[in-house]
């Protein structure tokens, strides 16, 4: 045998993500971590602007607010202790004043609306098929915000419900932005609070829904981040201490395969150049005034100046110049 692990087959996809393409990521904390990697790679990305959203229904609902540039209805707002929140968004979107919360939501929803108008790529990461329904209104929520458990009913979304919800959203998205391409992923983060058994049930529902969606819509693709973590890496050394979230090494591995699958040749070339420069920028020498380090800074400056016509690098150039003697 040439190897002792099951490697997920990864082939290039067309069309590919270009150097100047705009990308919107929404969904679980895995969507956030991938979005942050794109930002650090100088890509034009709006990363998880609504905060972490776990289930497909919540993700689709937040997207519809942005599509139509509409505010959530009054019954979705709540107060927990002295903090004002909204059931359709993560707790990072909160305020100590209800009007301040409304203004924040209006700004976030509006910014996503205008960004989405000419975005080339939408990346959705589904985390769980388990949802919580408010007993007082019958509405599904994105986040319970630590309100009493007896106020909610825990319900598993079916594949049919996810597919139907996405199909409606898909038609609205295509009307709003006909050139949009969508990448679906299932988060490799394990929801062990649901128990391992029910986490497996949830992931299975998400995976079958993604399979249906990616095989019935021509501009919807599935990226196997979940399979890479569970079937390729499949070792606790690739999980953080909580045994739930992937380590940085695991995320880097998945990120490299994402680039191989979707990045254009121009973006791959730029990413390779930028990775070298970024490593140089975080280098911390013992002797900043040494001749060797000053040569290193001058070399880094030349590389930055060679790339500044490609992407904005004013801050990085100023940072290096500030260290030159």
According to DSSP, residue 231 is labeled I
CATH number, domain of 233, equals 3.40.50
Other CB atoms within 10 A of residue 255 CB = 17
Q: Is the distance from CB of 229 to CB of 258 less than 8 angstroms? A: no
Q: Does residue 125 sit in the same domain as residue 203? A: yes
Confidence of residue 173 (pLDDT cuts 50, 70, 90): very high
Q: Does residue 217 sit in the same domain as residue 145? A: yes
The structure's pTM equals 0.92
Q: Judge whether residue 2 has pLDDT over 60.
A: no
Q: Does residue 166 sit in the same domain as residue 310? A: no
Of all helices (H) and strands (E), which one includes residue 173?
A: helix 159-176
pLDDT of residue 280: 86
Name the token pair of 222: 């599935």
pLDDT of residue 186: 97
At which residue do the structure tokens 């895995």 appear? 30
Specify the 3-state DSSP secondary structure of 17. Answer: strand
List pLDDT tens digits, range 40-90.
Answer: 899 999 999 999 999 999 999 999 999 999 999 999 999 999 999 999 999
Name the token pair of 230: 């569970």
Bin 88: left if φ > 0, else alpha if -120 < ψ < 50, else beta.
alpha
Confidence of residue 288 (pLDDT cuts 50, 70, 90): confident
Q: Does residue 184 sit in the same domain as residue 298? A: no
Q: Evaluate whether residue 294 is within a structural domain.
A: yes
Q: Does residue 290 sit in the same domain as residue 247? A: no
Q: Which residue has the higher pLDDT, 101 or 325?
A: 101
Q: Evaluate whether residue 8 is within a structural domain.
A: no
Specify the 3-state DSSP secondary structure of 138. Answer: coil
Q: Does residue 257 sit in the same domain as residue 293? A: no
Judge residue 194's burial from the number of C-beta atoms within 10 Å of its C-beta, 0-12 exposed, 13-18 middle, 19 or more buried.
Answer: middle
Q: Evaluate whether residue 106 is within a structural domain.
A: yes
Confidence of residue 289 (pLDDT cuts 50, 70, 90): confident
Q: Does residue 46 sit in the same domain as residue 141? A: yes
pLDDT of residue 3: 67
Integer CA distances (angstroms), 258 to 37, 116, 126, 254, in order? 11, 22, 17, 6
Q: Evaluate whether residue 310 is within a structural domain.
A: yes
Q: Evaluate whether residue 275 is within a structural domain.
A: no
Percent of the chain with pLDDT over 90: 72
List pLDDT tens digits, range 26-45.
Answer: 999 888 888 999 998 999 99
Domain count, the chain: 2
Judge residue 28's burial from the number of C-beta atoms within 10 Å of its C-beta, 0-12 exposed, 13-18 middle, 19 or more buried.
Answer: buried
Q: Does residue 236 sit in the same domain as residue 322? A: no
Q: Evaluate whether residue 175 is within a structural domain.
A: yes
Cα distance between residue 313 and residue 317, in whole Å = 6
Specify the 3-state DSSP secondary structure of 206. Answer: helix
Q: Does residue 260 sit in the same domain as residue 288? A: no
pLDDT of residue 132: 97
The parent domain of residue 29 ranges over 22-264
Q: Does residue 101 sit in the same domain as residue 136? A: yes
Q: Evaluate whether residue 121 is within a structural domain.
A: yes
Percent of the chain with pLDDT over 70: 99
Integer CA distances (angstroms), 186 to 137, 157, 239, in order? 29, 15, 17
Q: Does residue 48 sit in the same domain as residue 113? A: yes
Q: Evaluate whether residue 300 is within a structural domain.
A: yes
What average pLDDT does range 120-131 have in this prediction?
97
Q: Does residue 74 sit in the same domain as residue 172? A: yes
């Amino acid at each position: 045998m040439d190897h002792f692990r099951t490697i997920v087959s990864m082939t290039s996809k067309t069309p590919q993500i270009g150097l100047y393409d705009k990308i919107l990521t929404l969904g679980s904390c895995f969507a956030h971590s991938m979005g942050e990697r794109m930002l650090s790679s100088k890509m034009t990305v709006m990363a998880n602007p609504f905060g972490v959203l776990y289930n497909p229904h919540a993700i689709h609902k937040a997207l519809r607010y942005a599509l139509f540039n509409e505010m959530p209805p009054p019954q979705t707002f709540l107060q927990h202790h002295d903090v004002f929140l909204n059931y359709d968004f993560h707790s990072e979107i909160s305020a100590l004043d209800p009007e301040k919360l409304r203004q924040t939501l209006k700004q976030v929803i509006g910014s996503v609306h205008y960004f989405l108008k000419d975005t080339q790529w939408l990346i959705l990461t589904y985390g769980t098929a388990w949802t919580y329904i408010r007993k007082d209104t019958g509405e599904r929520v994105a986040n319970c915000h630590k309100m009493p458990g007896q106020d909610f009913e825990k319900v598993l979304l079916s594949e049919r419900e996810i597919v139907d919800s996405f199909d409606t959203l898909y038609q609205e998205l295509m009307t709003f932005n006909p050139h949009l391409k969508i990448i679906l992923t299932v988060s490799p983060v394990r929801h062990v609070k649901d128990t391992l058994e029910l986490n497996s049930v949830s992931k299975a529902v998400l995976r079958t829904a993604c399979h249906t969606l990616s095989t019935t819509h021509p501009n919807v693709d599935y990226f196997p981040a979940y399979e890479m973590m569970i079937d390729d890496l499949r070792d606790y050394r690739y999980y953080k201490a909580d045994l739930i979230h992937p380590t940085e090494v695991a995320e880097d591995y998945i990120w490299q395969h994402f680039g191989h699958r979707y990045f254009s040749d121009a973006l791959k070339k730029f990413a390779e150049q930028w990775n070298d420069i970024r490593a140089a920028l975080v280098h911390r020498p013992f002797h900043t005034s040494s001749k060797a380090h000053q040569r290193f800074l001058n070399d880094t400056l030349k590389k930055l100046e060679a790339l500044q016509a490609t992407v904005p690098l004013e801050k990085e150039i100023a940072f290096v110049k500030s260290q030159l003697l």
